[in-house]
Structure 1
Amino acid sequence: MDSRLPNPASSPYRFFTAAEWATFRGREALTLSADEVRRLRSMGDRIDLEEVERIYLAMSRLLYAHVESSQTLFRQRRRFLRGSDQTKTPFVIGIAGSVAAGKSTTARILKELLARWPGTPKVDLVTTDGFLFPNAVLEAEGLMQRKGFPESYDVGAILRFLSDIKAGARHVSAPVYSHFVYDVVPGEEVTVDQPDILIFEGLNVLQVRDMPKDGKFIPFVSDFFDYSIYIDADIDDLHRWYVARFMRLRETAFREEASFFHRYSKITDEEALEVANRLWTTINQRNLFENILPTRPRADLILRKGGDHLVEEVALRNI
């Protein structure tokens, strides 16, 4: 881990190299194929079947242990409450990290692995992108250049969604976001119906706010998490990955006239590089330093990636 993390001697985490972490997979079976991994990974992410075996199988085994423990605690608590009619609620996993860190790939890989446990648990994945305010609202509030910052999200809607999930409600809806049109899709929703596990992925999901001076209860998004993961990497690598993805999108999605970023497919490579670097520096890097990176110490598990987008080290919070 880098120097920004606590000294291992005084840290609440235990640190493992990727090779050490791989030994914790035990007898966990590799249930994904190479083709499935290629389908699940995001553009620019180099995760392959070997990386799944090296890093993600141990993660799957660890999360399985936590889910089983949560279910045992639920049964014990129900007995304590003399058979109350409390509904068993989903185990919620939060995944945080910078733009271009690989959160989406991690979330999709975990979703597939967890759904293939014994008993075939129902696993759903929801991202915070859908809870962004629509572009029309952001433009009216002067927030388009702060898209992805905490104030650009409908936090109240996020809290209501997670509260309903944790209450065991049926058919809970979440809005849908399109990266192609760079906006929330009007009228489109995804419905979550009492899954066993919910993965909730987003930039700022581990963020806290100032505590209320009057002592009134104001929940944080992470209050609804049973386990949290932070995807970490050097700033220079994140910058490089973001720019490389932007340049590749110029040759693919940006070429479609309906794409929000279609105009960037018509400029020169030099101009596009300038735009990508500016977007990183003025928006994404600023958001990382101000809002995302400070939440890293709140995670239960930190995956530290190297320059090749593969995990080099893992930090596991002590119990």
Structure 2
Amino acid sequence: RKGFPESYDTRALLDVLRRIKSGVEVVEAPVYSHVVYDIVPGEHVVVRSPDIVIIEGLNVLQTRSGAPEFVSDYFDFSIYIDADEPDIEKWYVERFLALRASVFQDPNSFFRFYAELSDDEAIDTARRIWRDINGLNLSENIAPTRDRASLVVHKTADHRVDQVQLLRL
């Protein structure tokens, strides 16, 4: 289930964060491609003694029962970007439609078979993906981590920030 917590190599991410946090001067991290929707075999980014590391992801605030450590254990500060679910779904459908003319055209794209859909077919497909995958993932796995963040930023339908809530320092 792509995008769900179980699809992430949490152990590898923890290893990278552990090495950075413990002061290892040169750390290699795998490269993720939004085109192929997966880790790119053999490709790495080199991180050299960073002052700041920004980790972005849907599931980085997850806590799995019984796990000895969590990705967020290595965070000094975390931000959760929040919005009302109907707005997020609308943005997803709009983005899906826009991507048909760009990344979906790439023959290596995980989503290449959506490139030639009509507008109506694309809207129906995007709504189905939202309902069966993204919306489900949001409600079951992402939204419940909101209160684990240091700061929650809420956005309105037009992407303006209307609320900022500091939960912890």
Q: What TM-score results when the alignment is normalised by the length of structure 1?
A: 0.51
CA RMSD of aligned residues (A): 1.3
Shift of 1:250: 0.7
Unaligned 5+ residue runs, structure 1?
1-145, 213-217
Match among 175, 195, 203 for residue 30 of structure 2: 175
Match among 98, 110, 120 for residue 260 of structure 1: 110
1:186 aligns with 2:36: no
Q: Take 1:263 and 1:183, find their aligned partners in 2: how far apart are those partners? A: 17
Name 1:109's counterpart in structure 2: none
Query: What is the percentage of aligned positions where both structures have the same residue?
Result: 56
Shift of 1:256: 2.8
Q: Take 1:206 and 1:174, find their aligned partners in 2: how far apart are those partners? A: 19
1:196 aligns with 2:73: no
Amino acid in the other structure paired with 1:196:
D
Q: Take 1:159 and 1:253, find their aligned partners in 2: how far apart are those partners? A: 30
The 5 Å alignment of 1:148-227 reads 148-211=3-66, 218-227=68-77
Shift of 1:260: 2.4
Name 1:304's counterpart in structure 2: 154
Shift of 1:185: 1.1
Range with greater deviation from structure 2 (250-259 or 303-312): 250-259
Please give the per-residue CA displacement for 1:223-282, whole angstroms capped at 9, x wherever unaligned: 111111100000000000000000001122212333222221112111111111111111
Q: As a proportion of its length, which structure holds more helix?
A: 1
Q: What TM-score results when the alignment is normalised by the length of structure 2?
A: 0.95
Aligned residues of 2:151 and 2:168 also touching (Cα < 8 A): no
Match among 109, 122, 140 for residue 290 of structure 1: 140
State which structure, 1 or 2, has the greater radius of gyration over its C-alpha atoms.
Answer: 1
Q: Aligned to 2:59, what secondary structure does the other structure show?
A: coil
Aligned residues between the structures: 169
